[in-house]
Every structure is written in structure tokens, then in C-alpha cells.
């Protein structure tokens, strides 16, 4: 059987460890292989908060809480020395985001801004719809595979930290993301089908070595917010940003897939998100966000931060992709 069609989420195997991107990730990956000492956590705190070395380090540490890596001892998920290094990297990343992506607008205005589409769109989905070639949509899928092959998994961490309306609304959306009881409709599987149409490898984590630092940072943001209970408000804000902005962007991406002849399953992935996320947008605003703040109004600033941090990192990724494609 073709590897691209072996399983809806790639394969059942854990991904292999990636290559290092600097001294910090080299030390951490060496530790995961069972060779070499970990650096002092201060080294992680001093790393470039948006750089590839720090974000590969964080991604590798976080992946131990998902499917892990082939040949890596599962017990390392809770290795205290590794967690100390991870904490240093998290502190660097989070401090930079609070400095660069914390806005002054109240949450109501931040949420309202998500509903406004630019008159003359200049984003990645606009480019792909109007000018993209098959090579561009394939490159885009490679980057997004680092999230979409684990779609909704990072957000599931927040469920035990919510209650009442917020929990019920979040669980309803997650149920849809996980296929509403139908394994062939799990969104991660639908993205694997998209990749198969694009003649890309569908195995989970296969393209980690090709992932830009900007894409790693976006996935790491979800894991950071999801794994820390104190950041549950930021995770809800991030989730709101994703769900509220997804439908119009997905419509453009579906058009792009059809225009370049990417294949029916490639277009279907985004068609599914146009319909599903239009409903999710209402649920996330009226039940998840409103429900959380009814219970914990003190988290309003955290919700806003989750939204602005997501927009900041998406913009960084968009700038990188568009610079490559237009260059």
C-alpha cells in the first residue's frame, strides 16, 4: 500500500527525531537519544525567542506529550532536567510574546476585529487563491501539516480546566474536529487525504525538518497554552482566533486548490472547514469565551492576549511564505 494512503493520520508510528538547528536543540535531541548532557536552563532563557533553535527545542519537548519519537524512552516525558530546560525556553518565548503581542484594546474590540476582513486582502490565502501555483499549495501544506496532522489535539488539553458552558461548547467543537464519531471524518485524517492528493508524504511529523521557525512557533503556542492551566484563558483566546477567522480563509484556500487542480480531497478539507467553522465561530464566542468569562472574569486580558499572540505569529509566518513566493 502507498505510504501516502496507509492511514488517515499518516501512520501509527511515532516520527523520527529531527536534525538539530543550533546548540540548544542539539543538546536536547542528544539527550533524547540517550547521549550527552543537557544545558543549563539559563541557556534556553537566553536563546532567540523566535529563532529555529529555541522552537525546535520546544517542539521536541512538547512532542513527548503527543506521540513521542521513535526510539525515545517514553519516560522522558516527565524528565525533570528536560522539563527545566523546556521551562527556560517557554519563559523566553512567553516574555517575548507579552512584549510584542499584547495589545491595549479591550477584549470586545479584539473579538470584533476578528470579524472584519481586509478590503484588499494581502494574506497567504489571498495569494494562493489569486496567484498560487501547485508548488505553492504543496509548500503551504508541508508547513501546515505540523499542526493539521494533530489538529485539535493541543486544544483538548484545556477541557479539564473549563466548566459549565465553556466546557460544553469546547467539547462540542472538539467533537466535530475529531470526526463526530466517524474516523474517516477526523480533521487530521482529512488533511492527510489532502496531502495524498498533493502527492506529499502523509506520515505524522514527517516534515518537521522542513518546518519554518514561524510555523513551529505557532504549534508551540498551542502546546504552551494548552499544557499550562494558568494559561487556559490564552488558549481559549487562541482557539477563538482560529475558529472565527477560519471560514473565510478556508473558502479562499478551497478555491486555490480547485484552481491549481490539487484534487478533490484537497478541496474537500477546506470546504469542510468553511461549513464547520462558520458554526464553530458562533459557539466559541457565545459559549466558550462568554462562558469562561462568566465564571472567571479575571481571565479577560488573557483571552485577549491569546488572540493577539496568535495574530502576531500568523503574520510572521505569512510574511515569510509570501517573501519566498514573491521573491
Rounded-to-integer distance, Cα 239 and Cα 256, Å = 25
Residues 259 and 301 grouped into a single domain: yes
Q: What is the model's pLDDT at position 327?
A: 78
Give tens-digit pLDDT for 134-192. Answer: 999 999 999 999 999 999 999 999 999 999 999 999 999 999 999 999 999 999 999 99
Average pLDDT of the chain to the nearest whole number: 93
Rounded-to-integer distance, Cα 57 and Cα 216, Å = 10
Give tens-digit pLDDT for 243-274. Answer: 999 889 999 999 999 999 999 999 999 999 88
Residues 168 and 271 grouped into a single domain: yes
Is residue 238 over pLDDT 90?
Answer: yes
Rounded-to-integer distance, Cα 106 and Cα 301, Å = 8
Of residues 245, 247, 239, the one with CA closest to residue 291: 239
Q: What is the mean pLDDT of residues 293-317?
A: 98
- State the pLDDT confidence band at 276, using cuts at 50, 70 and 90: confident
Q: What is the model's pLDDT at position 120?
A: 56
Would you say 285 and 240 are in contact if contact means Cβ atoms under 8 Å apart?
A: yes
Q: What is the model's pLDDT at position 78?
A: 97
**Residue at which a domain ends, from 57, 72, 100:** 100
User: What is the span of the domain harbouring residue 14?
Assistant: 3-100
Residues 95 and 115 grouped into a single domain: no
**Number of Cβ within a 10 Å radius of residue 142:** 19
**Number of Cβ within a 10 Å radius of residue 201:** 16
Residues 35 and 67 grouped into a single domain: yes
Q: What is the mean pLDDT of residues 276-286?
A: 85
pTM of the model: 0.94
- Distances from the Cα of 262 to the Cαs of 8, 118, 235, 254, 309, in angstroms? 18, 27, 33, 10, 32
Residues 60 and 197 grouped into a single domain: no
- State the pLDDT confidence band at 1, using cuts at 50, 70 and 90: very low
- State the pLDDT confidence band at 121, using cuts at 50, 70 and 90: low
Residue 146's SS3 state is helix
Residues 63 and 131 grouped into a single domain: no
Residues 67 and 85 grouped into a single domain: yes
Q: What is the CATH number of the domain that holds 111?
A: 1.20.910.10
Residues 78 and 208 grouped into a single domain: no
- State the pLDDT confidence band at 3, using cuts at 50, 70 and 90: very low
Q: What is the model's pLDDT at position 8?
A: 45
**Residue at which a domain ends, from 71, 100, 129:** 100
Q: What is the model's pLDDT at position 2?
A: 39
Phi, psi of 308 (to 5 degrees): -70, -35
Give the relative orientation of helices 164-177 and 232-259 as an angle to the nearest 10 degrees. Answer: 30
Give tens-digit pLDDT for 51-83. Answer: 999 999 999 999 999 999 999 999 999 999 999
Of residues 298, 294, 291, 280, the one with CA closest to residue 168: 291
Is residue 36 over pLDDT 90?
Answer: no
Residues 26 and 118 grouped into a single domain: no
Count of domains in the chain? 2
Q: What is the model's pLDDT at position 5?
A: 41
Q: What is the model's pLDDT at position 230?
A: 98
Q: What is the model's pLDDT at position 249?
A: 93
Residues 23 and 113 grouped into a single domain: no
Give tens-digit pLDDT for 189-212. Answer: 999 999 999 999 999 999 999 999
Residues 131 and 267 grouped into a single domain: yes
**Residue at which a domain ends, from 53, 77, 100:** 100
Residues 305 and 197 grouped into a single domain: yes
Amino acid at each position: 500500500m502507498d505510504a501516502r494512503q496507509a492511514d488517515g493520520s499518516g501512520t501509527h508510528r511515532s516520527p523520527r527525531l529531527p536534525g538539530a538547528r543550533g546548540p540548544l536543540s542539539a543538546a536536547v535531541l542528544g539527550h533524547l537519544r540517550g547521549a550527552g548532557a543537557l544545558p543549563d536552563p539559563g541557556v534556553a532563557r537566553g536563546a532567540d525567542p523566535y529563532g529555529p533553535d529555541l522552537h525546535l527545542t520546544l517542539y521536541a519537548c512538547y512532542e513527548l506529550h503527543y506521540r513521542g519519537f521513535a526510539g525515545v524512552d517514553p519516560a522522558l516525558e516527565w524528565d525533570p532536567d528536560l522539563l527545566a530546560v523546556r521551562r527556560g525556553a517557554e519563559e523566553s518565548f512567553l516574555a517575548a510574546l507579552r512584549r510584542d503581542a499584547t495589545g491595549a484594546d479591550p477584549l470586545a474590540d479584539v473579538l470584533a476585529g476578528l470579524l472584519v476582513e481586509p478590503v484588499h486582502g494581502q494574506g497567504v490565502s489571498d495569494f494562493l487563491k489569486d496567484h498560487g501555483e501547485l508548488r505553492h499549495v504543496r509548500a503551504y501544506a508541508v508547513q501546515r501539516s505540523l499542526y493539521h496532522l494533530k489538529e485539535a489535539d493541543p486544544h483538548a488539553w484545556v477541557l479539564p480546566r473549563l466548566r459549565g458552558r465553556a466546557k460544553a461548547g469546547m467539547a462540542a467543537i472538539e467533537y466535530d474536529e475529531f470526526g463526530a464519531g466517524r474516523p474517516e471524518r477526523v480533521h487530521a485524517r482529512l488533511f492527510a487525504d489532502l496531502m495524498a492528493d498533493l502527492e506529499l508524504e502523509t506520515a505524522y511529523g514527517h516534515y518537521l525538518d522542513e518546518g519554518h521557525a514561524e510555523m513551529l512557533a505557532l504549534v508551540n503556542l498551542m502546546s504552551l497554552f494548552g499544557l499550562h492551566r494558568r494559561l487556559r484563558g490564552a488558549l481559549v483566546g487562541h482557539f477563538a482566533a482560529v475558529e472565527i477567522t477560519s471560514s473565510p480563509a478556508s473558502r479562499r484556500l478551497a478555491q486555490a486548490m480547485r484552481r491549481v487542480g490539487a484534487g478533490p480531497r484537497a478541496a474537500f478539507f477546506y470546504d469542510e472547514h468553511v461549513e464547520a467553522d462558520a458554526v464553530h465561530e458562533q459557539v466559541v464566542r457565545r459559549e466558550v469565551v462568554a462562558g469562561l468569562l462568566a465564571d472567571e472574569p479575571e481571565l479577560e486580558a488573557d483571552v485577549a492576549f491569546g488572540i493577539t499572540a496568535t495574530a502576531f505569529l500568523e503574520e510572521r509566518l505569512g510574511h515569510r511564505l509570501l517573501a519566498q513566493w514573491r521573491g
